[in-house]
Chain A
Amino acid sequence: MALFARRKHGEVTFTESDSFALLNRPLKSSGVLIYDAPDHLVKRTLSPKKETLDLDHGRITLRRERRQWHLELSAYPQIVPYVDALRATLAGDRAALRRMFTVELAGGLANWTLELRPIEPRVEKTLRLIRIAGARDDIRSVLILQRNGDRSLMRLGPPPPP
């Protein structure tokens, strides 16, 4: 965790595969993930549709084409775990993680897995667990498992070309 706290800025590409019980096949998307310690996380989806999700100090700004939404994370406690889990891990914010989840760490420094299970009953109803895997201070993948079978797997790849 301490390792993470030292990181100030990072940029990686990501590919994501979302499987919904609603749909017949998984949705694939990819883009760039930008992190600025400790409270700023930007997910810029480039394919299939351009979209930017900006999480800054607890406010989310979602930009799609010409439309914009502003959300206060505190107003939507249901999404906090999804969005904040990644940010908190990147920031080494143990306290934030512990507030939302029971945290289980497995593996060693070279290859570790963080299992986060939600504490709050409302969230626990839909979210089963979040599994973050990485090596040293690099996050490799984020897996989100819903109780209804929906899952989302995001693989963090190499930094984007300059």
Chain B
Amino acid sequence: MKPRRAAAILIWAALAGIAALIVARARYAADLSAFLPRAPTASQRLLVEQLRHGIASRLILIAIEGANGPTRARLSRALEGELRGEPEFVAVENGDQAMARRDRRFLFAHRYLLSHTVTPQRFTTAGLHAAIANTIDELASPLGLMTQALVPSDPTGEMLTILARLERRARPRTAHGVWVSKRGHRALLLARTRAAGSDTDAQQRAVNAIGRAFAASLLAQHAHARLEMTGPGVFAVEARARIKRAVTHLALVSFALILTLLMLVYRSVPALVLGLVPVVSGALAGIAAVALGFKVVQGVTLGFGGTLIGEAVDYSIYLFVQSRSRPLPAGADPRAWRQRVWPTIRLGMLTSVCGFASLLPSSFPGLAQLGLYSLAGVLAAGLVTRFVLPAMLPRGFHIRDLTPLGERAMRVLGKARRARAALALLAVAAGAVLYAHRGQLWNRELLALSPVPQKLQRLDGTLRADLGAPDVRYLIVIRAGTEQAALAGAERVGRALDPLVRENAIAGYESPAEYLPSLALQRRRQQSLPSPTVLRSRLARALVGLPLEASRLAPFVAAVAAARTAPLLTRAQLRGTSFAAALDSLLVKEDGQWQALLPLEAPASGPAATHIDIRRVRRALATAAPVAATVLDIKRGADALYGTYLAEAVRFSLIALGAIVILLVLALRSPVRVLRVIAPLALAVLATAAGLALFGVRLTLLNVIGMLLIVAVGSNYALFFDQRERAPAALTLASLLIANSATVLAFGVLAFSSVPVLHDLGSTVAPGAWLALVFAGLLAAPKPPDPPPPLYDGAGRHG
């Protein structure tokens, strides 16, 4: 073996070994964070933060179906009991009355600290008179028979005020003592996890815990029923499982398909094995590059990896078919290949690299990784094919002659070329289709990238509506240095929002300060309470004209006296009530700062139904509350974010296209040739886009990336048709057919994936790459007929 060959193989082995080591020690993740953009501005960061671990992200909505009502209720209670001690959960609620009673006791006990009508005015004579008269009037109702027991202790109606505020949101229906769906055929529970929705491992543990607890409940109750769960955490777990499954699946299937293809073509196992060397090298290089360039390798990147197989295997196909066929036709020897064919391949490789490089600066981590992976992979595969693979080939290595295949293809191509004028028609038709569909062409929702199945998303919507669980679309975030400052800020913002509620600009809002007022506010309320002597004298005057004796109100006087000196409320006193969980989700510590979160509720009816005018809210906040508050419309914000990244993807694609054109101009030095190379690619992209539009597909980010790849990958084929070198056209065509088939297979497999990101990419590139080959063939300049081959007997002598 020549020393140069040995050196090449040794270097390759060393690099491959290092890469393998990096790959083995890399960290892998398969979650949705690949699809959440890195966000530069503060409010975008806040938005993404909310999406990843905001309030709503910690909710798991649980539904029990099957059996009958009472059984479901028993199961609901059993499930709640089983989950109560689990560390994964902060709270599990099922509407059970015990909790409701604890809640009411808490509210009643602390009503003078919690009620917003406890003001100095309330406890003046006039104020007392008005409040008590009101309470008496309200007794004349069926509820009066129930609430009249409270009157001696709470004649000013503080309890009802508090309840009115807290019960503003419609509560879930109850039946048999637990929450049920609107139509009553599901028992519902709400679980709040300790960990954020973005901590997929913790969410997985929570989901597993619920599953186990339910199984135990079924056993204990001797019942048969079904469990359903939804929520952001559940979705993250589901997404991860799907991505993992898809990635393994796809890798295996594409590999198997391509192996089969190559086996059919080469009919030789050594050829197959050697042909895979660039593929393996490319994959190793790609993963190692991503592992080095990013902290974590995303599962979706590996999913895309299947496509790299289709690309990388092309190079060895070109090498084998075009330079190692036996018998060896003229101009098809290794040296000729190196000198005349390799430059074309190199140019094709560079255009691919340009295409992938444009993904690197993307704000979507998933896309940036795909770019780096493919870039490194293609470079490695190409270089290995050029420098290492020939060194590895044993002397006398050859594959069977594929000239017959090539000649058949040439004949077909020759006939088809006569119809090339039809291509112009196709271009016009495609353009027309795209123009007709221009309104519904783009899918502008971030949710379109979600791998969570539609059925689950719909179930989530239904359960949320039934439970009154917030979807949290509109949110005000108040940041402050201390917990008390955050609560005080929430109170100021609440006061600014109250007029908006009265005008029905918003239906209502939730605030942590309603569950735990700031210490300052509590103190102010305490100070509004008069001393017993003062209160008694004012009461005596206030009750004039009312059918109530002051002697009856002794409990009231005692309660007020106690409240005056009672310790102020802190988080600790809320434990055991459902308010603790609510407070935990609305008052959080993030990055050393305190955040108070105020979800806004859109009006259910009226001219502004289900929409909130964010600008109006901002105006109200600006004038009334000088507080560091940000108003977020999470859905619109997320979609807008996605929109900017869609625009970014289009921009980068155009830049990449420009770079490719410049590259081609520099290499080919003739505008006509460049046009001949670009035209079939442009046509392929146009036709693919029109085809997708015709099928009703709305284009996402990944379709745009796919179109870029059509150009990058298709350029390899177009360049082959361009070359003026007189390589045997038959063999070249055969090799192109096989290479193209490998690519189409690899991307085609993606098109069958249920993960939208992979599916979109596959369904764009598979047809597009095929079309690129066909169009390139049709548009190629007619070759001068091959001169009769000189006598050439393989030993290098001319006859």
Contacts and interface: CB of A to CB of B under 8 A. Distances in A.
Contact of A79 (B134, B143, B176, B502): B143
Contact of A62 (B97, B143, B152, B168): B143
Contacts of B146: 76, 78-79, 82
A68 B548 contact: no
Interface string B166-181: 0110110111110000
Given A49-B134, A75-B174, 12 more contacts: A18-B140, A18-B144, A20-B148, A22-B152, A29-B141, A49-B140, A64-B138, A72-B173, A72-B174, A146-B145, A150-B145, A152-B145
Interface string B679-707: 00000000000000000000000000000
A22 B550 CA distance: 11
Interface in B81-106: 95, 97, 100
The 3 closest A-B pairs by CB, nearest first: A24-B547, A29-B140, A23-B547
A72 B136 contact: no
A69 B173 CA distance: 14
Dominant secondary structure of chain A at its interface with chain B = strand
Interface string A19-63: 010111101110000000000000101001101010000110010
Contact of A16 (B100, B138, B140): B140
Contacts of B142: 43, 53, 79, 82-83
Of the four ranges (under 10, 10 to 19, 20 to 34, 35 or more), the interface on chain B belongs to: 20 to 34
Interface of B: 95, 97, 100, 134, 136-146, 148, 151-152, 163-164, 167-168, 170-171, 173-177, 502, 547-549, 552
A152 B139 CA distance: 11
B167 A69 contact: yes
A65 B407 CA distance: 89
Contact of B502 (A18, A66, A70): A66
8 contacts: A23-B547, A28-B140, A43-B141, A49-B134, A68-B167, A79-B143, A79-B145, A152-B145
Given A18-B140, A45-B140, A45-B141, A74 B502 contact: no
Interface in A96-118: none
Given A24-B548, A79-B142, A48 B137 contact: yes
A49 B133 CA distance: 11
Contact of B138 (A24, A49, A76): A49
Contacts of A82: 142, 145-146
Contact of A27 (B97, B140, B143, B171): B140
A51 B141 contact: yes
Contacts of A58: 173
Given A22-B148, A150-B148, A70 B170 contact: yes
A45 B35 CA distance: 56
B549 A20 contact: no
Contacts of A152: 145
Interface residues of A, number: 37
B547 A74 contact: no
A16 B173 CA distance: 30
Contacts of B502: 66
Given A27-B136, A27-B140, A48-B137, A74 B148 contact: no
A67 interface: yes
Nearest to A64: B138
Contacts of B171: 70, 72
A74 B137 contact: no
Contacts of A150: 145, 148
B138 A75 contact: no
Given A22-B552, A24-B548, A27-B139, A69 B164 contact: yes
A71 to B, nearest CB: 8
A43 B140 CA distance: 12
Nearest to B137: A49
A25 B137 CA distance: 12
Contacts of A62: 141, 143
A68 B173 CA distance: 16
Contact of A22 (B95, B170, B548): B548
A86 B170 CA distance: 25
B145 A25 contact: no
A28 to B, nearest CB: 8
A53 B144 CA distance: 12
A74 B175 contact: yes
Contact of B100 (A24, A45, A75, A146): A75
Contacts of A146: 145
A101 to B, nearest CB: 16
Contacts of B138: 49, 51, 64
A144 B144 CA distance: 12
Contacts of B134: 49
A75 B97 contact: yes
B151 A22 contact: yes
A112 to B, nearest CB: 23
B138 to A, nearest CB: 7
A144 to B, nearest CB: 7
